[in-house]
Amino acid sequence: MYDWWVAVIIGIVEGLTEFLPISSTGHMILTGTLLGIPETDELIKSFEIVIQLGAILAVVIVYWQRILRLFGLGRERPTAGKGMNLLHILLAIVPAMTVAYLLSDFIKEHLFSPQTVLIGLVLGGILLIIGEKQQPAITASDVDELTYKQAFMIGLWQIVALWPGFSRSGSTIAGAMLAGASRGAAADFTFIIAIPVMVVATGYEMLKSAGSFSSADIGFFAVGFVVSFVVALLAVVTFIKFVQKFSLTYFAYYRFILAGLFWFFILR
């Protein structure tokens, strides 16, 4: 059993990095190494799944009104071809979920090594720079202006995020910008489509690891869940405001620095 401060540290890292375009996987691996946590520790693996739920809950709260609208429960009901609706979401999540289902074993066996994560960190940073520098004319300044074609293109970019280190949000935000979305619309749509993807992935992992922790671990898990939720809530709200004014290249430079730290502490 780990001390509560370990739950706090990992919860902070998860909450900060899960939805920012900086790779939560890279940060979690580096954090585990610095804390001396074995990669094979089943308790921590289960703990990471639980705190992901805290991060997901934060995004659900931020986008609660938009989620209600998708199901016709908000003040304004979406109509086909006008405003974001469930078809946009399906077009954006089906490609990555299909590939993840078909190649799950291959990804876990070949793409989760420190070397491949390091490559993902660097290439993901380059992708963010390309998204900023090569962005075409903006045709969607808000998620309600996204076309079905743009939603599907964003979904294709989300496949790239199956490579650990690329970052789901980094790949989809950059991809959305390359498809003609503004930074703000790209970020909003990225966070919204992350909800079903993460719920399915996290639910699947929870079923697999259901027996790896006991009632004695509940307090430890609860601390991490709450910390992850609060930090993710602050991170998402702050990031949404940030992208309205500033370039994503700052995150690209951060990723390059992180890649250097990753190499120094893990691969050197």
- How many beta carbons lie within 10 A of that of residue 173, not counting itself? 31
Contact 139, 180 (CB under 8 A): yes
Backbone angles phi, psi at 233, to 5 degrees: -60, -50
| Residue-level pLDDT at 217 | 80
Q: What is the mean pLDDT of the chain?
A: 92
Contact 164, 120 (CB under 8 A): yes
Q: What is the pLDDT of residues 74-127, one digit of tens each?
A: 666 555 556 899 999 999 999 999 999 999 889 989 998 899 999 999 999 999
Q: Which two tokens stand for residue 216?
A: 């004695």
Q: Which two tokens stand for residue 241?
A: 């405001």
Residues pairing with 181 in the sheet: 140
Tell me what percent of the residues of the chain surpass a pLDDT of 90.
77
Write down the domain spans for the chain.
4-267
| Residue-level pLDDT at 39 | 79
Alpha helices (H) along the chain = 4-17, 24-35, 42-62, 64-70, 86-110, 114-133, 148-160, 168-178, 183-208, 218-243, 249-262
Q: What is the pLDDT of residues 160-207, one digit of tens each?
A: 999 999 999 999 999 999 999 999 999 999 999 999 999 998 888 878
| Residue-level pLDDT at 77 | 58
- Which candidate, 84, 65, 63, places its Cα nearest to that of 75? 65
Confidence of residue 150 (pLDDT cuts 50, 70, 90): very high
Say yes or no to pLDDT of 210 above 90.
no
Q: What is the DSSP letter of 85?
A: -
- Region 145-149: mean pLDDT is 96
| Residue-level pLDDT at 212 | 64
| Residue-level pLDDT at 208 | 76
- Higher-pLDDT residue of 54 and 74 is 54
